Structure 1
Amino acid sequence: MEVVPVKPLARYASLANYVELARSLGLDPIGMLRSAGLDPGGIRLQDRWIPAEAVVSLLEETAARSGRDDIGLRLAELRRLSHLGPLSLVLREESSMRNALAQLIRHERMYNEALHTSLQVADGVATVRIEIDLGVAAPDRQAVDLGVGVLHSLMRELAPPTWRPLSVSFSHAPHVDATLSGRMFGGLVRYDRDFDGVTFAETDLDTPLSAGDPQMLAYTQRMLADAAGNEASVARRTRQLVEMLLPTGRCSVDQVARSLGVDRRTVHRRLEAEGTTFTRVVDDTRAGLARHLVAGRRYSMTEIAVILGFSSPSNFSRWFRGRFDCTPREWRSAGR
């Protein structure tokens, strides 16, 4: 039987600020979303999965209709670390850029399956490269610009105020109007290179990360206010944090409580009030992710075991059988 490749998915979070940007350019974002086969109402559901190809196509069409070839950079300029939601809290706890990048790379598939980020170090120089893999040939210049721009912005937020990369590289030709790229990257941007990404000194990898910034503080305060003022939000926030923490090996009620700004007893009490427990939230979150990842065929069982926080593929397989009454491979073979 022929195996049909499963196309990568992305979350609506990858289009954060798109509606505002499109309107500022005189475009109809609702019509643009519909033309790309996306549900305009769903853009408010940041965790909803959509075809990554549709996101890339939307960005290219926006560039064509607006007559601007820097749509990806414009979106990236609007992004902040806090847009990563619970993952932003995880990154803030890392002691160095090396560890933060490792977490960012490990979690990328939880936001965009078409995005592939890698860290390479050689001769005292570190390079973080971005690649877009849709499984089919398609223009992706704007998606690449968005990926590189967001990466650069996040590194700037995490690093000390004096940090500067050695260069920011793009494999495509220069932007027609270099005003935005100049504002974002200064004189460090390089075009027509053989990769897309950010290059910096290897020693920067182990430089301690900077203290929290006002925007991150504001995000955390909103998160805590929501948790304090709405009992139902605790389970939702807990699920978000569990999803982000599973691959780190630090998914515990203590870690979740610390991220929420409460003690573990408060987490247990509020979850109990909603008729659930921390263990059940973890198990249900794993189950939802497992169904998506196993059916998707893009990741090996070993990779999925790591994503879901299992110590070994065999432990993952035993858990999966207990939850779904079949092995992961049987589930995948059945095309569920």
Structure 2
Amino acid sequence: MSSLLQHVNLTEFVDVVRQLGQDPYRQLRQAGISPTALVDPEMRVPAKSVMQLLEDSAQLAGLEDIGLRVAEARQLTTLGPLWVVMREGATLRNALVAMARYLHLLNEALDLRIEEVGDSAVVRLELLVSVEGSMRQSTEFVICLWFRLFKLLAGTTWRPHSVCFTHAAPASLATHRRLFGVPVRFRQDFDGILLSAKDLDVAGGASDAALGRHAREYLDTKLAQSDYTMPDKVRKLVFALLPTGECGAEQVARQLGIDRKTMHRHLASYGQNYLSVVDAVRVELVTRYLKHNERPLSDVAILMGFSSPSAFSRWFSTRFGCSVSAWRRQQPVPESTR
């Protein structure tokens, strides 16, 4: 099932690319995106097409910050009813919970997770689809957009501890420093924003409660009508739970609010089972985690939910027909390390 975007809003992309002296409409056509998406907010566009569009545009322009530039130009109110519901929340925590609940209605390729450890909290991004090569632009676009949203909700004085990316640092950090104004860390184990746990309970600004209630009712109706299947739901949770080491079938079923047998029965109706979903997610994730040769296999094993590096190595050899080191030697050198 192809992950889709609604309210894709590519107007800012067109403006940014034009300012760089390039033809945005040609790039849209090459990515397989109809220009109609610029004027029809209800048109659903494959997420992979938009992600590839950002990556290809950055390569054509010879710039590493296209995603950030487009995110900076984006009008935050384009989130529509979701923005209304987020503003209705009395705290940043409530706003994030609402965003996590309804995000799928706008973007089936993203997942937002909130994790608290001691005095710190992480708002983690998971991209549920992949494109060939780098996903730097897509990742930085989303994180920058979220950063701006959270700052608008929590107040202009809000400052998280840091912004984290799994990819390597660009040649220049000027745009990152200007837009974030906090430490930006690269080659981390996750993509997201690290903040103080107490920031989650910072009170937001005043909002129209009646309007927020109507927006929530509307989104709940859309959610009930969603064609999000059981394999989709399980896949999304596996992406989020694998790195925690708590991704057993029992835990996933509990997160879905059903028992394990019910989950297996629904998966079977689609010709799948829990282990096949986990295996597919691992195949999709492994290339992301092994992009950088300096990442220890012990870390990769943990991130993919294996009990040990040897268990991960056995799975990899069975799945790919070669060792990790042999696979890495076959991969092209990332542009950022050349």
Q: What TM-score range do you get, normalising by the shorter chain?
A: 0.5 to 0.7
The amino acid that maps onto 2:117 is: A
Instruction: Find the counterpart in structure 1 of residue 233 from structure 2.
Output: 299
How far apart are 1:175 and its partner, in Å? 2.1
Kept in 2: contact 1:92–1:158 (CA 8 A): yes
Q: 1:44 aligns with which of 8, 16, 39?
A: 39
Distance 2:267 2:175 in 1: 48
The amino acid that maps onto 1:298 is: D
1:95 paired to 2:90: yes
Instruction: Find the counterpart in structure 2 of residue 185 from structure 1.
Output: 180
SS at 1:60 equivalent = helix
Instruction: Find the counterpart in structure 2 of residue 111 from structure 1.
Output: 106
Kept in 2: contact 1:118–1:129 (CA 8 A): yes
The amino acid that maps onto 1:132 is: L
Distance 1:241 1:99 in 2: 13
Instruction: Find the counterpart in structure 2 of residue 73 from structure 1.
Output: 68
- CA deviation profile, 1:150-189 (whole Å, cap 9, x unmatched): 1111000000232110111111122222221111112421
How far apart are 1:142 and its partner, in Å? 0.7
Greater CA drift, 138-147 or 128-137: 128-137
State how 1:201-212 maps to structure 2 within 5 Å.
201-211=196-206
Q: Please provide the CA RMSD for this pair.
A: 3.2
Instruction: Find the counterpart in structure 1 of residue 157 from structure 2.
Output: 162
Cα distance change on mapping 1:241 and 1:21 into 2, 3 Å: farther
The amino acid that maps onto 2:51 is: V
Count how many residue pairs are aligned between Structure 1 and Structure 2: 244
Cα distance change on mapping 1:175 and 1:136 into 2, 3 Å: closer
Distance 1:207 1:241 in 2: 21
Kept in 2: contact 1:8–1:135 (CA 8 A): no
Distance 2:26 2:166 in 1: 31
Distance 1:89 1:12 in 2: 15
Q: 2:21 aligns with which of 4, 26, 45?
A: 26
How far apart are 1:133 and its partner, in Å? 1.9
Which consecutive residues of structure 2, in runs of 5 or more, have no partner in the other structure? 238-256, 259-265, 272-338
Distance 2:130 2:223 in 1: 26
State how 1:278-289 maps to structure 2 within 5 Å.
289=225
Cα distance change on mapping 1:155 and 1:86 into 2, 3 Å: same
Which consecutive residues of structure 1, in runs of 5 or more, have no partner in the other structure? 1-5, 218-222, 224-237, 247-281, 304-311, 314-327
Instruction: Find the counterpart in structure 2 of residue 227 from structure 1.
Output: none
Distance 1:33 1:241 in 2: 33
1:200 paired to 2:135: no
Kept in 1: contact 2:105–2:223 (CA 8 A): no
How far apart are 1:106 and its partner, in Å? 1.1
Cα distance change on mapping 1:162 and 1:136 into 2, 3 Å: closer
Instruction: Find the counterpart in structure 2 of residue 318 from structure 1.
Output: none
The amino acid that maps onto 2:48 is: E
Distance 2:11 2:108 in 1: 17
Instruction: Find the counterpart in structure 1 of residue 334 from structure 2.
Output: none
How far apart are 1:47 and its partner, in Å? 2.6
Kept in 2: contact 1:12–1:43 (CA 8 A): no
Distance 2:223 2:122 in 1: 33
Distance 1:187 1:331 in 2: 48
How far apart are 1:7 and its partner, in Å? 2.6
Cα distance change on mapping 1:56 and 1:135 into 2, 3 Å: closer
- CA deviation profile, 1:192-232 (whole Å, cap 9, x unmatched): 211111111101111111346xxxx9xxxxx9xxxxxxxxx
1:121 paired to 2:116: yes
Distance 1:59 1:94 in 2: 32
Kept in 2: contact 1:114–1:132 (CA 8 A): yes
SS at 2:8 equivalent = helix
Distance 1:59 1:136 in 2: 11
State how 1:112-261 maps to structure 2 within 5 Å.
112-134=107-129, 138-211=133-206, 242-244=217-219, 246=220
Kept in 2: contact 1:161–1:210 (CA 8 A): no
Instruction: Find the counterpart in structure 2 of residue 320 from structure 1.
Output: none
Distance 2:51 2:45 in 1: 11
Distance 2:57 2:131 in 1: 20
The amino acid that maps onto 1:113 is: E
Kept in 2: contact 1:132–1:140 (CA 8 A): no
1:53 paired to 2:52: no
Identical amino acids, percent of aligned pairs: 33
- CA deviation profile, 1:51-105 (whole Å, cap 9, x unmatched): 1111111000000011111111111112343121111111111000111000111
SS at 1:121 equivalent = strand
Distance 2:19 2:164 in 1: 27
Q: TM-score, normalised by structure 2?
A: 0.64
